[in-house]
Amino acid sequence: MADETTQHTPETGEGPPEVTDPEEAKGKSFLLILIPLLVIALTGGGWAAFIYYPEVVAMTSAVGLDFGSDEKLDEAEPVEYGQFTELQGLIVNPADSEGRRFLMVNIGLETPDESGLEQLKMKDIVVRDTILRTLSTHTISELSNISMRENLKRELLSAINGVMQDSTISRLYFTQYVLQ
């Protein structure tokens, strides 16, 4: 008998399939590369989210966002603002800096009424001194820790209100905060 070679034909289905279209081959090899890359990227993203989720929640709560609550942000009551003034160019050496590092800060102060602004203008020197004295008691690590900023604001607010007589400061804002 003669050697019979079987070739792949659609009718018989015998023999190895032949790829006749080079574009189809490129598409298959592209998918073979793309699918593992997507799996690796999704796995890495899931791992990073699992590891860093507590830190992200802590940072968002420090700035006033709460992902755990069911309240919608649109339903929040509007904030009533008072009168503002800004103390600029406050520079202080932190407690453990030995004069090599400094904090430069601008502070915005809010009072409920105009009389508070007048009293702040009259006591500008005393208020600035109170702020510098309070900030200079903190170390570099305390001043650079973002989660400590709210505590620092409360401490400054309490110290400034101790100087005020007839009026109070309702809110304190850091408008510039540079630690060098």
pLDDT digit of tens for each residue in the chain (180 aa)? 445 555 555 555 555 555 566 777 777 787 788 888 888 988 888 887 778 777 776 776 666 655 555 555 556 788 889 999 999 999 999 998 888 899 999 999 999 989 889 999 999 999 999 999 999 999 999 999 999 999 999 999 999 999 988 888 999 999 999 998
175 phi/psi in degrees, rounded to 5: -90, -20
Q: What is the model's pLDDT at position 42? A: 86
The CATH topology of domain 83-179 is Tetrahydropterin Synthase; Chain A (3.30.479)
How far is CA 30 from its chain centroid? 38
On whether the pTM is more than 0.75, the answer is: no
> Token pair 């989210």 is at which residue?
49
Tell me the HSE value of 49 on the side-chain side, using a 13 A CA sphere.
6
Q: What is the model's pLDDT at position 52? A: 75
Contacts of 135 (CB under 8 A, 6+ apart): 90, 92, 94, 103, 105, 143, 152, 156
Domain ranges of the chain: 23-72, 83-179
Query: What torsion do the CA atoms of 122, 128, 134, 139 make, to the nearest 10 degrees?
Result: 170
Contacts of 157 (CB under 8 A, 6+ apart): 169, 171, 172
Run of H or E residues at 66: none
